[in-house]
Structure 1
Amino acid sequence: MTPSELLLEGVELMLFGLGFVFLFLVLLVLVIRVMSWVIGQFAVKAPSPVSAPLAVKPSSGEPNADVLAAIQSAIHQHRARRG
Protein backbone atom coordinates (compact mmCIF):
# COMPACT_ATOMS: atom_id res chain seq x y z
CA MET A 1 0.00 0.00 0.00
CA THR A 2 1.15 3.47 -0.76
CA PRO A 3 1.24 6.19 1.87
CA SER A 4 -1.67 8.01 0.22
CA GLU A 5 -3.81 4.85 0.37
CA LEU A 6 -2.93 4.41 4.04
CA LEU A 7 -3.83 8.04 4.73
CA LEU A 8 -7.18 7.71 2.95
CA GLU A 9 -7.93 4.50 4.84
CA GLY A 10 -7.07 6.24 8.12
CA VAL A 11 -9.35 9.18 7.31
CA GLU A 12 -12.14 6.78 6.34
CA LEU A 13 -11.75 4.88 9.60
CA MET A 14 -11.71 8.14 11.57
CA LEU A 15 -14.90 9.38 9.93
CA PHE A 16 -16.58 6.04 10.49
CA GLY A 17 -15.61 6.15 14.19
CA LEU A 18 -16.75 9.74 14.66
CA GLY A 19 -20.04 9.01 12.93
CA PHE A 20 -20.62 5.94 15.07
CA VAL A 21 -19.98 7.89 18.30
CA PHE A 22 -22.24 10.75 17.15
CA LEU A 23 -25.08 8.37 16.31
CA PHE A 24 -24.65 6.58 19.63
CA LEU A 25 -24.86 9.84 21.58
CA VAL A 26 -27.94 10.99 19.65
CA LEU A 27 -29.59 7.63 20.31
CA LEU A 28 -28.67 7.88 24.00
CA VAL A 29 -30.27 11.34 24.30
CA LEU A 30 -33.43 10.14 22.57
CA VAL A 31 -33.72 7.05 24.79
CA ILE A 32 -33.27 9.16 27.93
CA ARG A 33 -35.99 11.59 26.80
CA VAL A 34 -38.39 8.74 26.00
CA MET A 35 -37.71 7.12 29.39
CA SER A 36 -38.34 10.44 31.11
CA TRP A 37 -41.64 10.84 29.26
CA VAL A 38 -42.72 7.27 30.08
CA ILE A 39 -41.88 7.67 33.76
CA GLY A 40 -43.77 10.98 33.80
CA GLN A 41 -46.85 9.26 32.38
CA PHE A 42 -46.87 6.42 34.92
CA ALA A 43 -45.67 8.32 37.98
CA VAL A 44 -48.20 8.88 40.72
CA LYS A 45 -48.78 12.54 41.28
CA ALA A 46 -48.46 12.95 45.05
CA PRO A 47 -50.12 16.02 46.50
CA SER A 48 -47.62 18.42 47.94
CA PRO A 49 -48.06 18.79 51.69
CA VAL A 50 -49.05 22.21 52.88
CA SER A 51 -47.27 23.11 56.07
CA ALA A 52 -48.69 25.52 58.57
CA PRO A 53 -46.56 28.57 59.24
CA LEU A 54 -44.39 28.15 62.29
CA ALA A 55 -45.17 30.31 65.26
CA VAL A 56 -42.23 32.56 65.99
CA LYS A 57 -42.01 33.84 69.50
CA PRO A 58 -40.87 37.42 69.79
CA SER A 59 -37.28 37.72 70.87
CA SER A 60 -36.08 40.25 73.39
CA GLY A 61 -32.76 40.57 71.52
CA GLU A 62 -30.72 38.68 74.12
CA PRO A 63 -29.71 35.02 73.75
CA ASN A 64 -30.62 32.65 76.55
CA ALA A 65 -28.13 31.41 79.15
CA ASP A 66 -27.36 28.11 77.35
CA VAL A 67 -26.40 29.91 74.16
CA LEU A 68 -24.18 32.37 76.04
CA ALA A 69 -22.43 29.52 77.86
CA ALA A 70 -21.77 27.69 74.57
CA ILE A 71 -20.36 30.85 72.97
CA GLN A 72 -18.10 31.55 75.94
CA SER A 73 -16.85 27.96 75.94
CA ALA A 74 -16.07 28.11 72.22
CA ILE A 75 -14.17 31.40 72.63
CA HIS A 76 -12.19 29.96 75.53
CA GLN A 77 -11.24 26.83 73.53
CA HIS A 78 -10.24 28.93 70.51
CA ARG A 79 -8.00 31.19 72.58
CA ALA A 80 -6.45 28.20 74.35
CA ARG A 81 -5.49 26.61 71.02
CA ARG A 82 -4.02 29.82 69.61
CA GLY A 83 -1.75 30.21 72.58
Structure 2
Amino acid sequence: MQDPQLLQEGLSLMAFGMGFVFVFLTVLVVATTLMSSLVSRLTPAPAPTESGSREAGAADDHDGELMAVISAALHRYRRRR
Protein backbone atom coordinates (compact mmCIF):
# COMPACT_ATOMS: atom_id res chain seq x y z
CA MET A 1 0.00 0.00 0.00
CA GLN A 2 1.07 3.56 -0.56
CA ASP A 3 1.59 5.94 2.33
CA PRO A 4 -1.35 8.29 1.63
CA GLN A 5 -3.71 5.36 1.21
CA LEU A 6 -2.47 3.75 4.44
CA LEU A 7 -2.84 7.05 6.29
CA GLN A 8 -6.39 7.47 4.94
CA GLU A 9 -7.33 3.96 6.07
CA GLY A 10 -5.84 4.56 9.53
CA LEU A 11 -7.75 7.82 9.95
CA SER A 12 -11.03 6.25 8.88
CA LEU A 13 -10.50 3.34 11.28
CA MET A 14 -9.73 5.80 14.09
CA ALA A 15 -12.84 7.85 13.33
CA PHE A 16 -14.99 4.70 13.26
CA GLY A 17 -13.58 3.49 16.59
CA MET A 18 -13.97 6.86 18.31
CA GLY A 19 -17.49 7.22 16.93
CA PHE A 20 -18.43 3.78 18.20
CA VAL A 21 -17.08 4.56 21.69
CA PHE A 22 -18.90 7.92 21.75
CA VAL A 23 -22.22 6.31 20.74
CA PHE A 24 -21.78 3.50 23.28
CA LEU A 25 -21.04 5.89 26.13
CA THR A 26 -23.98 8.10 25.17
CA VAL A 27 -26.32 5.10 25.18
CA LEU A 28 -24.86 4.02 28.53
CA VAL A 29 -25.50 7.44 30.11
CA VAL A 30 -29.06 7.55 28.77
CA ALA A 31 -29.79 4.01 29.98
CA THR A 32 -28.36 4.74 33.43
CA THR A 33 -30.42 7.92 33.73
CA LEU A 34 -33.60 6.13 32.69
CA MET A 35 -32.99 3.26 35.10
CA SER A 36 -32.30 5.70 37.94
CA SER A 37 -35.54 7.57 37.36
CA LEU A 38 -37.46 4.29 37.05
CA VAL A 39 -36.05 2.94 40.31
CA SER A 40 -36.75 6.18 42.15
CA ARG A 41 -40.38 6.03 41.01
CA LEU A 42 -40.85 2.39 41.97
CA THR A 43 -39.25 2.44 45.41
CA PRO A 44 -41.64 3.23 48.26
CA ALA A 45 -41.12 6.32 50.34
CA PRO A 46 -39.54 5.68 53.74
CA ALA A 47 -42.04 5.40 56.56
CA PRO A 48 -42.01 8.34 58.97
CA THR A 49 -40.82 7.52 62.46
CA GLU A 50 -43.19 8.19 65.31
CA SER A 51 -40.71 8.16 68.16
CA GLY A 52 -38.54 11.14 67.22
CA SER A 53 -38.04 12.32 70.81
CA ARG A 54 -36.87 8.91 72.05
CA GLU A 55 -34.24 8.68 69.31
CA ALA A 56 -32.84 12.08 70.25
CA GLY A 57 -32.51 10.98 73.88
CA ALA A 58 -30.76 7.77 72.87
CA ALA A 59 -28.36 9.74 70.66
CA ASP A 60 -27.52 12.04 73.59
CA ASP A 61 -26.72 9.02 75.77
CA HIS A 62 -24.43 7.60 73.11
CA ASP A 63 -22.75 10.98 72.60
CA GLY A 64 -22.07 11.32 76.32
CA GLU A 65 -20.66 7.82 76.51
CA LEU A 66 -18.53 8.44 73.44
CA MET A 67 -17.17 11.67 74.92
CA ALA A 68 -16.29 9.86 78.15
CA VAL A 69 -14.42 7.14 76.26
CA ILE A 70 -12.53 9.66 74.14
CA SER A 71 -11.63 11.72 77.20
CA ALA A 72 -10.34 8.65 79.02
CA ALA A 73 -8.26 7.64 76.01
CA LEU A 74 -6.74 11.12 75.70
CA HIS A 75 -5.98 11.23 79.41
CA ARG A 76 -4.25 7.85 79.26
CA TYR A 77 -2.30 8.86 76.12
CA ARG A 78 -1.10 12.11 77.66
CA ARG A 79 -0.16 10.38 80.91
CA ARG A 80 2.12 7.94 79.03
CA ARG A 81 4.02 10.72 77.23
Q: TM-score, normalised by structure 1?
A: 0.67
Whole-Å separation in 2 of the counterparts to 1:21 and 1:8: 20
Runs of 4 or more, structure 1, over 3 Å off, are: 53-56
Kindly indicate which of the two structures has a greater share of residues assigned to helix. Answer: 2
Structure 1 vs Structure 2: percent identity of aligned residues? 32
- Residues 46, 72 of structure 1: alpha-carbon distance in 2 compared, 3 angstrom cutoff: closer
Structure 2: how far apart are the matches of 1:29 and 1:14?
A: 23
Could you tell me which amino acid in structure 2 is paired with residue 10 of structure 1?
G
Match of 1:32 in 2: 32
Q: 1:13 to 1:75 in 2, by over 3 A?
A: same
Q: Which runs of 5+ in 1 are unaligned?
A: 57-63
Query: Which of structures 1 and 2 has the bigger CA Rg?
Result: 1
| C-alpha RMSD over aligned residues | 2.7
Number of residues paired by the alignment? 69
How big is the shift at 1:74? Answer: 2.0
The separation in 2 between residues aligned to 1:45 and 1:72, in whole angstroms, is 46
